[in-house]
Amino acid sequence: MTLIQSLRDLSVSPVSAPRADYQNLLLSLPDVVLLLREGVIDWVSPSLTSLLGWSQEDWRGKPLEQFIHPEGLPTTITMLLSLDKGQRVMLRLRLLELCGSYRWVEIHAGPYLDKRGQLDGVVACFWCIDKDMQVHDELKHRASVDELTNLFNRREGLQRLKQLFISNMYNSQNLALLFCDIDHFKTINDLYGHSCGDLVLKSIAERIAKGLRSQDIAARLGGDELLVVLSGVSKEEDAVRIAEKLRSSVAEPILWNGKGIRATLSIGVALASPHESTDEALARADEALYEAKRNGRDQVACPLA
């Protein structure tokens, strides 16, 4: 008799004295064990209640996908296909709690074979990993974000830019690049010190972030160079209008030791062309930035046609 068969017997048959001991042991297990047949939950251990709030009857006879966060469904389908081939898998996904929220769990699953060795479903075991995922997310955030400005760092910013360009090729999602440089930033550092320079850089980053929409991204490429990527902008004049708003917002004085420090931005704008590479678009935005600097700084410029 297999483990899962023993567990199922405990859940459906009268409990005798020895079986009560096993039942108590089963109730104390924090991990959840379940048996799936054709994607439907045939049996689940009582620990389901303490972990997610559901009773066993809430899950029996229901498709597992009913309790999986939508973002995890493609991965689960791939997992089930692998199990049909006799493989064992491990995956992490979010499962629905009775209260309506989701919890991260780690699932280990494999094929369930009957007495003749024939595939008769899937047996799986899972447990909560909310704390592990929280640590994972924090580490991922630290690895992708510039510590001072809280904008994306260079690596993450350029990676996301490439992803947007790929999406642009297939979905006609128009993009505009704003290459930004803080005017005379070295002078600010020299006059007031690096602590003031850090405050200026951080304040400018905050103002830029507040002026963007949820689908836009901003990154610190290094030093005082910032990159803004606007999604869904199809006209050059629209990109320039947004850039002007950012420039005006940044130009407001920044309080430092009772003094108002005024920092300005030079911004180069480039509207991404279809099938253009990220390097080509960045080069055009960089060219426009230097045009803004040559013409006196604290302004927005577009590349020559």
The CATH number assigned to the domain holding 188 equals: 3.30.70.270
Q: Is residue 27 part of a domain?
A: yes
Together in a domain, 120 and 169: no
Count: domains in the chain: 2
Q: CA–CA separation, 268 vs 240, rounded Å?
A: 9
215 pLDDT exceeds 60? yes
The pLDDT tens digits of the residues spanning 232-287 come to: 888 899 999 999 999 999 999 999 998 899 999 999 999 988 778 899 999 999 99
201 pLDDT exceeds 70? yes
Domain hosting residue 287, numbered range: 148-301
Per annotation, catalytic residue among 181, 183, 224, 298: 224
pLDDT at 9 (0 to 100): 43
Q: Is residue 95 part of a domain?
A: yes
Together in a domain, 91 and 174: no
Together in a domain, 182 and 264: yes
Q: Greater confidence, 241 or 132?
A: 241
Q: Is residue 295 part of a domain?
A: yes
pLDDT at 168 (0 to 100): 65
Asked about 224 being catalytic, the answer comes back as: yes
Together in a domain, 131 and 152: no
Together in a domain, 161 and 269: yes
Q: Is residue 143 part of a domain?
A: no
At 226, the pLDDT band (50, 70, 90 cuts) reads very high
Listed residues 113, 135, 157: the one ending a domain:
135
58 pLDDT exceeds 60? yes
Together in a domain, 160 and 124: no
Cβ burial 99-135 (10 Å sphere, 16+ → b, else e): eeebbbbbbebbbbeeeeeeebbbbbbbebbeeebee
Q: Is residue 34 part of a domain?
A: yes
**Cβ atoms within 10 Å, residue 305:** 4
Listed residues 89, 113, 135: the one ending a domain:
135
Are the beta carbons of 10 and 22 closer than 8 angstroms?
yes
Together in a domain, 106 and 158: no
Most confident range (mean pLDDT) of 17-26, 35-44, 84-93 is 35-44
Q: Is residue 35 part of a domain?
A: yes
- Tell me the CA distances in angstroms from 167 to 162, 164, 223, 232, 303, one per residue in order: 9, 5, 29, 11, 24
Together in a domain, 119 and 177: no
CA angle 110, 111, 117 (to 5 degrees): 140
Q: Is residue 142 part of a domain?
A: no
Together in a domain, 131 and 165: no
Residue in 87, 291, 109, 298 with CA at minimum distance from that of residue 204: 298
With a pLDDT cut of 90, the percent of the chain lying above it is 53
Q: Is residue 140 part of a domain?
A: no
Together in a domain, 251 and 193: yes
Q: Mean of the pLDDT values across residues 49-53?
A: 92
The CATH number assigned to the domain holding 11 equals: 3.30.450.20
Listed residues 135, 165, 188: the one ending a domain:
135
